[in-house]
Structure 1
Amino acid sequence: MQVAKKPSGISMDPTNMAAESAAGKMLAETMSPPIPYEMVRQLGACNTVVVFSMSGCCMCTVAKRLLFGLGVGPTIIELDEHVAGPDIQAVLYELAVDGQQPIPAVFVGGKFLGGVETLMAWHINGTLVPLLKDSGALWL
């Protein structure tokens, strides 16, 4: 009685091993995490309202409560709980206007609105609600 050998699926041929290694390297390169700027851009573009926040920040709480109070359900990214939080925060520092705190950072309709000062100013002068309606965050 003879037993048929099953192929192991792993080739020990050096040329095939090199090809598999190159394919694995290319796959690893394409699956590498996106750079922080791209992450911020994608999150801002794919969500109607995004708030980059720190969980213990009182100004972040003010921004989130204002938006929730208006009936908006923003996507909230807590940077102190995110694996790429420090890198994202560095990108937000670059986006912030001189003298403004970069956290919280609010994006509406894919565009960087600013921090809590800008959010509050837009709310007080009456332009925040129309902006939220135009972006699709409010339906009323």
Structure 2
Amino acid sequence: MDVVKGLVQERPVVIFSKTGCPVSHSMRQLITGFGANPTVYEIDQMPNGREIDRVLQMMGRRPSVPSIFIGGNFVGGPNDVITLQVQGRLVQMLMDAGAIWVWNRN
């Protein structure tokens, strides 16, 4: 847990991904569409990627990617992020985390 916690601390938005994962790419596009700049970790290219993968699975993510953290908190996977967007809560979470400062729907 500490390895993941260390990577998400003090970063507004973190996405754990694997190279070429189209769903991870879609999540990144969604979040950057609001003006945020997520930190993306490609765990298949990291020396401790297997350990991170196991931790994410222990957190309930199967498959482990994409896993999204906002404001240091585990949000979940793509379905969870889309649910937040549909509920109108995603933008506020991004603002609360300092990932974006203003949001204009127009």
TM-score, normalised by the number of residues in structure 2: 0.90
Structure with the higher fraction of residues in helix conformation: 1
Structure ranking higher on relative contact order (CA contacts 8 Å, 6+ apart) = 2
Deviation at 1:56, TM superposition (A): 1.2
Deviation at 1:49, TM superposition (A): 0.7
- Structure 1 counterpart of 2:54, one-letter code: A
Deviation at 1:80, TM superposition (A): 1.0
Distance 1:79 1:126 in 2: 30
2:9 is paired with a residue whose SS is: helix
Residue 85 of structure 1: aligned partner: 49
Percent identical among aligned pairs is 33
Q: Deviations over 1:50-92 (max 9, x none)?
A: 0000111111111111011111101110011111111100000
Distance 1:127 1:39 in 2: 28
Residue 127 of structure 1: aligned partner: 89
Structure 1's consecutive aligned runs of 4 or more residues displaced over 6 angstroms after TM superposition are none
How many residues of Structure 1 are paired with residues of Structure 2 in the alignment?
Answer: 102
- Structure 2 counterpart of 1:128, one-letter code: L
1:118 is paired with a residue whose SS is: helix
- Structure 1: which 5+ runs fail to align? 1-36
- Structure 2: which 5+ runs fail to align? none
TM-score, normalised by the number of residues in structure 1: 0.69
What is the RMSD of the two structures over their aligned residues, measured on CA atoms?
1.2
Residue 111 of structure 1: aligned partner: 73
**Max Rg structure:** 1
